[in-house]
Amino acid sequence: MWMIYGAYGYTGVLIAREAVRRGHRPILAGRNREKTEALARELECPSRVFEVEQPDLSGVKLVVHCAGPFIHTSKPMVRACLEAGVHYLDITGEIAVFESVFKRDADAKQRGIALLPGVGFDVVPTDCLAAKLHARMPDANELWLAFYSRGGGTSRGTLKTMIEGAGWGGAIRKDGRITRVPQVWDVQEIPFPSGTRAAMTIPWGDISTAYRTTGIPNIRVYSVQPRRALRRMRRLRPLFPLLRLGLVQKIAQKIADRHQGPSDEQRARSTTELWGRVTNAKGDVETMTMIVAEGYTFTAKSAVAAVERVLASTLSGALTPATAFGSGFVDEVSR
């Protein structure tokens, strides 16, 4: 038996529906009894209600943790999974969460369980793309990754996580170390399959995971933004640190609570384009592009596929998607 915690959230619901479509009946769990039990009745799944600080993992082999922001919720769930000998998967994209989970590698191996953060759009496609590029150029010393979401939108949970981190700027990996940089630190013209588009550096999870997957010491991740938005963000950059203030953060989070994620129709007509580039000390260059489903649709499929892979395996330790399943995992999910 396996569990989805945060099952009634926007992405949790999508994962639960995909799981049932594929013949699973996971335990649907969360802290809100009314929402949890309503979804469980609809999908004819068992349910449990508990706070993340006191998980009930009895009889559970694996948890897919979907309740963010993960910077606040992952540690107690990881701790509970280690104590209970339960595999831990999540859909985070937060660098600090990846780094925290990877520090528990030895503990996970000792307990014989897998700790596998980022089994959704953050960071399966980019992690697999990084692994594919590294296979082409094993001596690469720099990796750039970029993505462009054509249509779609963001969920309430994603927006709240973005707001929480916005005040701390961006991040890159430089000479093997995670390095803080300002928001909109660098803008590049990226040649996506549909055309060249302006993209800015963002503190995406691959700053942590791609390094663990490939060992490449210099990593940047870019996301496409409208040019007008890029200019506006650069002008407003001095104000971003205000988001660290508790009152400002509280107001922004309340506004985010009114946000709704993309509709089924929006997701169905949306896709995501990815681009990656590696270079080595000699100046050689390799590039690759990829097209996958809209991010939340991809997350639902990849999370359930990851569950199936882990339950059928003897994996243990703290892993990235590509180190756990190979660079072809993204192709399997996309079929």
pLDDT per residue as tens digits for the range 123-171:
999 999 999 999 999 999 999 999 999 876 675 566 556 555 555 579 9
Residue 64 and residue 306: Cα distance in Å, rounded?
10
176 vs 261: which has the higher pLDDT? 176
270-299 average pLDDT score = 97
Whether residues 135 and 249 fall in one domain: yes
Residue 334 pLDDT? 93
Residue linked to tokens 């990996």: 173
The full 3-state SS of 273-316, as one line of letters, equals EEEEEEECCCCCEEEEEEEEECHHHHHHHHHHHHHHHHHCCCCC
Whether residues 271 and 149 fall in one domain: yes
Whether residues 226 and 245 fall in one domain: yes
Whether residues 58 and 131 fall in one domain: no
Q: Which amino acid is at 326?
A: G
Whether residues 116 and 134 fall in one domain: no
Range of the domain at 16: 2-120+297-334
pLDDT band at 246 (very low <50, low <70, confident <90, very high): low
295-315 average pLDDT score = 98
Whether residues 279 and 175 fall in one domain: yes
Residue 150 pLDDT? 82
Residue 115 and residue 193: Cα distance in Å, rounded?
34
pLDDT per residue as tens digits for the range 167-202:
557 999 999 999 999 988 999 999 999 999 999 999
Whether residues 75 and 149 fall in one domain: no
Residue 291 and residue 98: Cα distance in Å, rounded?
25
Whether residues 195 and 272 fall in one domain: yes
Residue 161 pLDDT? 60
User: Residue 36 belongs to a domain with what CATH number?
Assistant: 3.40.50.720
Which of 221, 224, 233 shows the shortest CA–CA distance to 118? 221
Residue 250 pLDDT? 62
Distances (CA, A) of 187 to 52, 197, 202, 230, 250: 39, 10, 10, 9, 30
pLDDT per residue as tens digits for the range 89-122:
999 999 999 999 999 999 999 999 999 999 999 9
Name the β-bridge partners of 273: 148, 291
Residue 228 pLDDT? 85
Whether residues 231 and 198 fall in one domain: yes
* Among the ranges given (116-125, 133-142, 237-246, 267-276), the one the predictor scored with the smallest mean pLDDT: 237-246
User: Residue 266 belongs to a domain with what CATH number?
Assistant: 3.30.360.10
Whether residues 128 and 253 fall in one domain: yes
Residue 46 has pLDDT above 70, yes or no: yes
Whether residues 141 and 232 fall in one domain: yes
**Mean pLDDT of all residues belonging to the chain:** 92
Q: Report the share of the chain in percent with pLDDT over 70.
A: 88
* Among the ranges given (74-88, 125-139, 226-240), the one the predictor scored with the smallest mean pLDDT: 226-240
Residue 163 pLDDT? 56
Whether residues 27 and 147 fall in one domain: no
**What is the domain count for the chain?**
2
